[in-house]
Chain A
């Protein structure tokens, strides 16, 4: 199975600032994703990180707020821009791997915006 790491694991930020979350996969993967999970809620897909092209965003999420980079097949970043308390959440990186395209998740980044 894919091993996915994220940095930072948690952070407390002031409103109006930006935070970049890094995601590293231990092997090359075609598809990487970014999710958000708020307490007691299901996972919500923010965007698909495409290697070599712009990310594909889901309804309700825009590039200006959540810019994503995918420079290669093992790494991606998500930036949460101009943060507000409503952005406080867990942000999870995910990747598909293997013959069955199983989807694996990173440990998540816990963000608290004051």
Chain B
């Protein structure tokens, strides 16, 4: 079983609509959670950290459910520029420095 699992998509979303997707993680002791965004043929870039109480950054809302071991990302009022692959990232409690474990990504395609 993979440490971090994501629905690969693609999620085809009309411009202006809302899209949400989840990511599950297998290690209940995982400590930190992030969403990264990766555009085609580009490097991953941090989109937002995910806090226990949930957090919002503009049109993006992230939630953490420790009991069910998943995190979610919701994008409101989708823009064409939101088309990308969204990587779920979890830090494993194996080392003091918190190794990042990446999911394979969820592809989002926003259409006009």
Residues facing A in B66-112 (CB within 8 A) are 87, 97-100, 102-105
**Beta-carbon contact of B46 and A42 below 8 Å:** no
Counting CB contacts under 8 A, is B45 at the interface? yes
Is A29 in contact with chain B by the CB < 8 A criterion? no
Seen from chain B, the residues whose Cβ lies within 8 Å of a Cβ on chain A are 4, 8, 42-46, 49, 87, 97-100, 102-105
Q: How far is the CA of A100 from the CA of B98 in the complex (A)?
A: 12
Docked Cα-Cα span, A78 to B102, in Å, equals 21
- Identify 18 new A-B residue pairs, CB closer than 8 A, beyond the known A102-B46, A104-B46: A31-B97, A40-B8, A40-B104, A41-B104, A42-B87, A42-B104, A42-B105, A43-B44, A43-B87, A92-B44, A100-B49, A103-B46, A103-B100, A105-B44, A105-B45, A107-B43, A108-B42, A108-B43
- A107 shortest CB reach to chain B, Å: 5
- A45 contacts chain B at the CB level, 8 A cutoff: yes
Contact A45 B45 (CB under 8 A): no
A-B contact list, 30 entries, CB within 8 Å: A31-B97, A40-B8, A40-B104, A42-B87, A42-B103, A42-B104, A42-B105, A43-B44, A43-B87, A43-B100, A43-B102, A44-B102, A45-B100, A48-B97, A92-B43, A92-B44, A100-B49, A102-B46, A103-B46, A103-B100, A104-B45, A104-B46, A105-B43, A105-B44, A105-B45, A106-B43, A107-B42, A107-B43, A108-B42, A108-B43
> In the bound complex, do residue A45 and residue B43 qualify as a contact, i.e. CB atoms below 8 Å apart?
no
The 8 closest A-B pairs by CB, nearest first: A105-B43, A42-B102, A42-B104, A43-B102, A107-B43, A105-B44, A108-B43, A42-B103
Binding site for B on A (CB under 8 A): 31, 40-45, 48, 92, 100-108
A31: nearest chain-B partner, CB-CB: B97
The complex places the Cα of A103 from the Cα of B45 at a distance, in Å, of 9
Select the residue from A43, A92, A100 with max chain B CB neighbours within 10 A: A43
Q: How far is the CA of A44 from the CA of B103 in the complex (A)?
A: 10
Residues of B within 8 A of A45 (CB): 99-100
Residues from chain A with Cβ under 8 Å of B100 in the complex: 43, 45, 103
